[in-house]
Amino acid sequence: MVLRAALLQMNVVWGDPAVNRRTAERMIRALKDTDIVFLPEMFTTGFMASDTSQAEPMEGPSVGWMRRIAAETGMALAGSLVIGDGTGRPSNRFLFAFPEGRLVWYDKRHLFSFSGEERFYAPGTERVVIEYKGFRILPMVCYDLRFPVWSRNRNDYDVAVYTASWPKTRIAAWDALLRARAIENQCYVLGINRVGSDPSTRYDGHSVGLDFLGDTLASLPEGEEGVVRVELDGARLAEYREHFRAWADADDFVLGR
């Protein structure tokens, strides 16, 4: 059982969903032998922490685009968007579009107070695990990475995915925390980050696929737009977790709200 994933390290154009959808589509349609494609956080707009003017409903063009591309290519498509219906604060929503048309989503739990995101967006309350091609996938968004309890593997997932707009100034923390999440949770970790810049900061990528030992499976040179291709081996993960059963010795607790 193997999952073939592509991580799109995009140069996201600030506030231009149509251009960013075209860029992503060009990169996606060049892929072959791929089961699933992951996009960065707020991949259609850039990280708009204090601007919700480009929020789209679930029936809007970007969600429709995701469903169409997944159906036409036969590849699942996942990434985060600003989603709202105009009746309250929108969500920073990680959407997972299946090729057959089904949608599953996770709303970012930990909003980035350093930039004021918590004043404009509604936090998620539900931890979600998505099953796809025999793999259990835990979706997370950017700042969630800093909170290990929320990512705690209760033997309920195989792959943790962190889609992000993580700035160059704190990229060392990104690298270290992704590796820590892989090791402590005995899981594959996929980190998808953007490149380029927005009005407030610069992004240098560091998108990466890590195995359950924290070893790098694939990455890209710093600052380069492109695709990270990784193959996740389910049998190898199961064998390792059965041989080294640290997960079985973890502390038992219930996560409150």
In the set 25, 32, 72, 108, the catalytic residue is 108
DSSP string, the chain: -EEEEEEEE-BPPTT-HHHHHHHHHHHHHT--S-SEEE--TTTTT---TT--TT-B-TTSHHHHHHHHHHHHHS-EEEEEEEE--SSS--EEEEEEE-TTS-EEEEE-SS--GGGTHHHHSPPP-----EEETTEEEEEEEGGGGG-TTTT---S--SEEEEEE---GGGHHHHHHHHHHHHHHHTSEEEEEE-EEE-SS-EEE---EEE-TTS-EEEE--TT--EEEEEEEEHHHHHHHHHHS-GGGGSPP-----
In the set 41, 56, 117, 168, the catalytic residue is 41
- 108 as an active site residue: the answer is yes
In the set 56, 117, 142, 168, the catalytic residue is 142
- 142 as an active site residue: the answer is yes
- 187 as an active site residue: the answer is no
Enzyme catalytic residues: 41, 108, 142
